[in-house]
Amino acid sequence: MIIANWKMNGSKEEVKNWIDIFNDHVEYENQSGCIFCPPSCFLDNANEIISSNNIQLNLGSQDLDPDADNPSTGGISGKMLKDLGCDYVLIGHSERRMYFNEHEDVLLQKLTSAALNNLKIVYCVGETKEQREQGMAIEAIKIQLRALKGLPVNLISVAYEPIWSIGKGITPSLDSIHEMHQIIKDELKSILNTEENILVSYGGSVSAENAVSISLLNSVDGLLIGGASLNPESFSKVVNNITIQD
Ligand code: PEP
């Protein structure tokens, strides 16, 4: 699972260019392990290009709005995302938590809506620099994971994204990533009451240089890539470098 999170970047032209280059550089059989998450205004356009060229790239949304009985101006529901060709949705990205004030109550509603609409969820968790320095990182992540209780196991994966690493060009040590992923996997078994291995991806300053060593950790099931996913050559290089190792 290699996820490209474009955040609030791009244009229709860049979407077309990105998908074309991805298709040229990444072998057909390796494309289906990738999830492209452009801004929602480009999802329809991306879906059209992907399906008309028979590209095996998955489409994901960076967010969704909860199903609501009240009128919700500007909202985009899970049903609409499905209609736009999305199979995946990111929920709880730290930028949404921080800048859009998404706290547990709204995240729970989003998770429920995603599940009701059969969207595969990539639930993002991560600690702040302060929490890490105070030895509170594990506790902070366990609290975030609790929101997943009761959701269908088959729709859930998690992305561990230390907030202090996102977009900063710094990453935790490999040992530290491995340790945190292991803790998350164990916690998920208990929260979801399952023995299944829930996929946990790593996100935070992943680049063409560090992607292989991170992905080789056996507790790392995927990568969530922000900045380095914007350039289609860099993203394809990450995908190809990783698939060569498999
Ligand atoms: C992200 O947007 O989730 C992310 C991990 O960004 P970056 O790769 O730029 O750190």
- pTM score, whole prediction: 0.96
Q: Which domain holds residue 195?
A: 2-245
Question: What's the pLDDT at 213?
Answer: 96
Instruction: Band the pLDDT of 245: cuts 50, 70, 90.
Output: low
Instruction: Band the pLDDT of 246: cuts 50, 70, 90.
Output: low
pLDDT tens, position by position, 74-128: 999 999 999 999 999 999 999 999 999 999 999 999 999 999 999 999 999 999 9
CATH of the domain at 41: 3.20.20.70
Asked if residue 220 has its Cβ within 6 Å of ligand 1, the reply is: no
- Using DSSP's 3-state secondary structure scheme, residue 160 falls into strand
Q: Which two tokens stand for residue 2?
A: 């290699």
Pairing of strands 88-91, 120-125: parallel
Asked if residue 95 has its Cβ within 6 Å of ligand 1, the reply is: no
Into how many domains does the chain fold? Answer: 1
Cα gap 162→148, rounded to integer Å: 19
| Shortest-distance Cα residue to atom 2 of ligand 1 | 226
- Give catalytic residue positions: 93, 161
Question: What's the pLDDT at 97?
Answer: 94
